[in-house]
Amino acid sequence: MQKYIDNLDDFEDDSRSRLLEVTERWLMPAVIFVAGVIIILAVCARLEALR
């Protein structure tokens, strides 16, 4: 027969927080994308101003 662990107080929750998951999966790529678009628009505006 399989022996089960009774004392579960010794175990800690090592799972990642939901906020960290959302930040890593959605927020950081969105920030990088928006920063890239801003840089591209700034370069285009600068080149247009040089004409």
pLDDT in the model for residue 15: 80
- List, for residues 8-30, the tens digit of each pLDDT value: 666 677 788 888 888 888 999 99
pLDDT surpasses 90 at 36: yes
Distances (CA, A) of 51 to 37, 38, 46: 22, 20, 9
Domain residue ranges of the chain, discontinuous segments joined by +: 19-50
- Could you tell me the end-to-end alpha-carbon distance of the chain, in angstroms, rounded to an integer? 83
Name the DSSP class of 13. -
